[in-house]
Amino acid sequence: MYDYLKGKIVSKQMNSYMGSYIVIEVNDIGYLIQTNKRTLAKIQEDREEIKIYVSLNHKEDSMSLTGFVTKEERDIFNILQSVSGIGVKLALLILDEFDISELVDIMIRQDSKELSRAKGVGTKSAQKIILELKDKLINWANIKPLDAIEVNIKSINQDTLIEVQSVLVSLGYSQEEIKNAFKHLKTANINIEKPEEILKHTLEYLSGI
């Protein structure tokens, strides 16, 4: 129903009985949007105009909005909630503990111990989250893998390239957008052997950061 809201920040709250939230005024209407501490830290000044990517959460007796500064965070938030037992609160806590590249790296390595660092995530629930999310974040079967030659980075490991490509596809990016992002790896001073470093750089490029 909503993709994003663009307006002025009226207020923000870090620790209220409702958790962390911001209020954005758009055309004289104030929207209360749940978020997390990581997102609030990116919002520097009250009354600044900002674009917030939102997700509409619908329960039997209520509706609410949850929002983030980047589309990627919003999309990962939605993917997290597709796991049975993960609701708005727990998804926000996980995204407070890990940024996108860290979270995806945990899924790739299937590191349930690391994931259980997030508040509210025990060892068994961490294993369940990884089991259900790995295939959703890294969907090998439904993409045509890019070849290292296509992006002119012959030294990059092909499996690493496919891992990162799969995550970007799950976030809604096209093959052409992903190819262009990979081509910019040549000018970046990063370790191309690490999927999390490649993912972080390509997301920054695709987000226009």
Q: What is the CATH number of the domain that holds 87?
A: 1.10.150.20
Same domain, 150 and 204: yes
How far is the CA of 106 from the CAs of 72, 80, 129, 132, 135, in angstroms?
Answer: 17, 13, 11, 13, 13
Same domain, 160 and 107: no
- The pLDDT value given to residue 33: 95
Phi, psi of 205 (to 5 degrees): -65, -50
Q: What is the CATH number of the domain that holds 29?
A: 2.40.50.140
Same domain, 147 and 195: yes
Same domain, 152 and 122: no
Same domain, 63 and 76: no
Last residue of a domain, one of 81, 115, 137: 137
Last residue of a domain, one of 137, 165, 192: 137
Same domain, 95 and 143: no
Same domain, 152 and 113: no
Last residue of a domain, one of 95, 119, 137: 137
Tens digit of pLDDT per residue, the chain (209 long)? 688 999 998 888 887 777 889 999 999 999 999 999 999 988 865 667 889 999 998 877 778 999 999 888 888 898 888 888 888 999 999 999 998 878 877 877 888 999 999 998 988 889 988 888 776 665 544 555 565 555 556 556 666 777 777 778 777 788 788 888 877 776 666 666 667 777 878 888 887 74
Tokens matching residue 1: 């129903």
What's the sign of the alpha-carbon dihedral 70, 205, 156, 189?
negative
Distance separating the N- and C-terminal Cα atoms of the chain: 26
Which residue range(s) make up the domain with 149? 138-209
Q: In the chain, how many domains are there? A: 3
